Each structure stands twice: as C-alpha cells, then as structure tokens.
Structure 1
Amino acid sequence: MITHIALFKLKDGFERCSPAVVEAEKSAKDVCRNVPELLTWRTGWNTVDRDISYDFAVIGVLPNLAALEKYQANPFHRLSVERWRAISDWVVIDLNDA
C-alpha cells in the first residue's frame, strides 16, 4: 500500500474564498471520483493556525506503486495539479506501507 500525502500553502494574494481556490478545492475533492486506482481519499483545510502550518491537504491510499503512477498520469488529477500550481506551493510524500 502507498499513502500519498500532499500539503498545500496558498500563495500571497489568495484566500480560501478566492474563486481560483474554491475551484481548486472542488477539483481536489472530485479526484476520488475520477481516479479509479484510489482506495481512499481525504481532503481538508488546516484547523490550527501556526507559522509552519500548511493550508490544505490531500491524503490518498493506493494499492501499489503501479497504481500511484497511474494516479499521477490521470488527466483529471493533472488538471487538479495545474489548478493548485497556480495558487499554491506544496510538498508531497509517498509512504510505502508495506
């Protein structure tokens, strides 16, 4: 199993209510309906404001590395990535849960 975690920090000038942010959030939530390789998918906003905190997170579980590669190449996922790239900086980690 692979746990995929991405943490997003909004760029200066963007707020949760900004139209581009609302669109990116909706896209992130819809990834689970458009990427069949995902076993589970969670999204959400940070609830504790700290200097080191990121703003938004996605967490997905995939059965293996081959499924992760399909996820990364999925056109809907790529569209969501482009939306987040325009409004945020982010970090990603993929944990091997074997």
Structure 2
Amino acid sequence: MMKHIVMFKRLAHVEHHAGREAELVAWMRRLDCEIPFIREWRVSANELDRPICWDYVLESSFDDRDAVERYLPHPKHVELIQALKTYFEWVACDYTVAN
C-alpha cells in the first residue's frame, strides 16, 4: 500500500475568496468518485491557527507505486490540478506502508 499525502495552502498573492475555496475543496473531496483505483481518500481542513499550519490535508492510499504513477497523469487529476494551482500551493509526500 502506498500513501499519498498532500498539504495545501492559499497562495500568498491570492485574496481569500470563500466561495471559490469551497468549490475547489468540494472538487478535491469528490475526486475519488472519478478515479476507481483510489483506495482511501480524505480531505480535511486545518483547525488551529498557527503560522506553521497549512490550510488542508489530503490523505489517500493506493495499492502500490504503479497506481500512484497512473493517478498523477490521470485526466481527472490533471483537470483538478489546473484549477487548484490558481488558488493553492502544495507539498506532497508519497511512501509505502509496510504490511
């Protein structure tokens, strides 16, 4: 099993727009319905106001590295990324979970 974790925060030069942000987060939250080989998928909002915190975290799981590598160029993922990059920056970590 491979975990794919991504943290998001609003771009520093982008003004907060609650409606646009809600739309993007809702889209993130439903991506697993469009890509059948995603095993686990959860998007959560940060709850504490601290300078080191990011705004959202995506926690997802895939069967293996090959599945993550199929996911990254998947058209539905690429479409979402195109929209997200106008509002958010992100960092990611991919790692294997030992059985």
Structure number having the greater helix percentage: 1
Shift of 1:72: 0.6
- Percent identical among aligned pairs is 24
**Coordinate RMSD, CA, aligned:** 1.2
Counting only pairs closer than 5 Å after superposition, residues 5-84 of structure 1 correspond to structure 2 as 5-12=5-12, 13-15=15-17, 17-19=18-20, 21-84=21-84
d(CA) in 2 for partners of 1:4, 1:40 = 10
d(CA) in 2 for partners of 1:77, 1:30 = 11
Shift of 1:18: 3.6
How many aligned positions are there? 96
AA aligned opposite 1:34: E
Contiguous gaps of at least 5 residues in structure 1 = none
Find the counterpart in structure 2 of residue 3 from structure 1.
3
CA contact (8 A) 1:37 1:70 kept: no
Q: TM (normalized to structure 1)? A: 0.90
Contiguous gaps of at least 5 residues in structure 2 = none
Structure 2 SS opposite 1:86: coil
Q: Once superposed, which parts of structure 1, at least 4 consecutive aligned residues long, lie more than 6 Å away?
A: none
Worse-superposed segment, 62-71 or 22-31: 22-31
